[in-house]
Amino acid sequence: MKVGLVQISSCLGDVQKNINTHLNFIEKAKKKNVDLLIFPELSLTGYSLKDLTQDVAINPTDSDIIDRLKAQSHGISIVFGFVEEKRRGLFFNSSAFISEEKIIHIHRKVFLPTYGMFEEGKLFSSGNNFQTFITPYGPAGMMICYDFLHYGASYLLFVGGSEIILIISAAPGRGLTNRESFASSHMWELMGEAISRFSSSFVIYCNRVGFEEGISFAGGSFIYNPAGKLIAKAPYIDENFLIHEINLDEIRSTRKKMPYKRDEKAEIILEALKRIVRNHEN
């Protein structure tokens, strides 16, 4: 399966401009026989929306923007980010998985960062699920940016049967070290390695680049294979269109060797979790 990661910058608040960028990349991807094309978080709108959030929202059941994307999804699956108005006046930071003219799944960001430089809790309702869904390439799950830094979210996809974990992101670069990257980029890679290895799934992370409001989005999109090995990596900070062929049979061979998935005891975890949460032990 050929995966394409579109590590770009979006035009803030200009959906018309961004949809054209999306369509261009879809066309390019088709020429290169990409099966699954992934755009970053809020790719249709840009990230630092503030009061623009409500103006750029889309209801996917009634949107010519989404219809235009759907129309291009023959023989290619597309993941992108947008502001979703699910019900009148309820806005979500969402990602959609589109294939063969259908929306197969919408994930609504559960963990909305609202601290320091982030204010998503002021702008969005939070989603309430991490659901594994069936794609043409097998069961998969989606997360949006900060979702992925809460490892319980990955656990739910692992238990739910996901073999491919897709993360779309608008992660700012933060912290300087002696390395030629932001300190924060290392955090994502660490999580990518750990989750791919211990869920024996592919972890595919697509981050954006560019500046908004002085914030530099760090890029560094990546793919880890089910054995926790980094198999593709886009550069930091610079725009990039990364195409990489992944071998889904690696899921089988890895799980034969390390049966984390077979040996998982979700029932025990569930009961223990119930006890902990109900007894307010946390």
Partner 1 sequence: MKINVAFVEKILILFIREELSKFDYKKGVLGISGGLDSSVCAFLSTKALKPANVIGLIMPYGKTPSRDLDEALKLAQQLKIKSKIIDISPMLDIYYKKYPTKNRILMGNKMARERMSILYDFSAREKALVLGTSNKTELLLGYGTIYGDMASAVNPLGDLYKTQVRQLAIHLGVPERIVKKTPSAGLWPGQTDEKELGLTYEEIDKILFQWVDKRKSIKEINDSGFPKEDVEKIINLVKNSEFKRKLPQIPKISERTVGHDFLFPHDWGK
Q: Which residues bind partner 1 (CB under 8 A)?
A: 11-14, 46, 48-52, 173, 176-181, 210-214, 216, 237
Minimum CB distance to partner 1, residue 173 (Å): 8
Smallest Cα–Cα separation from 22: which of 86, 58, 66, 53? 66
Minimum CB distance to partner 1, residue 169 (Å): 18
* Nearest-angstrom CA–CA distance, 3 and 202: 11
Report the residue number, 99 or 181, with the smaller CB distance to partner 1: 181
- CA atoms within 13 A of residue 209's CA, in its CB half-sphere: 15
Minimum CB distance to partner 1, residue 120 (Å): 14
Smallest Cα–Cα separation from 6: which of 256, 205, 279? 205
Report the residue number, 176 or 268, with the smaller CB distance to partner 1: 176
Report the residue number, 120 or 147, with the smaller CB distance to partner 1: 120
Minimum CB distance to partner 1, residue 58 (Å): 18
Minimum CB distance to partner 1, residue 42 (Å): 12
Minimum CB distance to partner 1, residue 174 (Å): 10
Report the residue number, 9 or 162, with the smaller CB distance to partner 1: 9
Report the residue number, 73 or 181, with the smaller CB distance to partner 1: 181
Report the residue number, 59 or 177, with the smaller CB distance to partner 1: 177
138 CB-near residues (< 8 Å, 6+ apart): 163, 164, 248, 251
10 CB-near residues (< 8 Å, 6+ apart): 18, 21, 40, 42, 43, 44, 45, 46, 47, 208, 210
* Nearest-angstrom CA–CA distance, 162 and 134: 9
Given a contact cutoff of 8 angstroms between Cβ atoms, the answer to whether 80 and 97 are in contact is no
**To the nearest 5 percent, what fractions of the chain are helix, strand and coil?**
35, 30, 35
Smallest Cα–Cα separation from 153: which of 100, 109, 88? 109
- Which tokens hold the place of 168? 């779309």
Q: Look up tokens 């009961």; give the residue.
A: 271
Report the residue number, 13 or 113, with the smaller CB distance to partner 1: 13
Minimum CB distance to partner 1, residue 282 (Å): 24
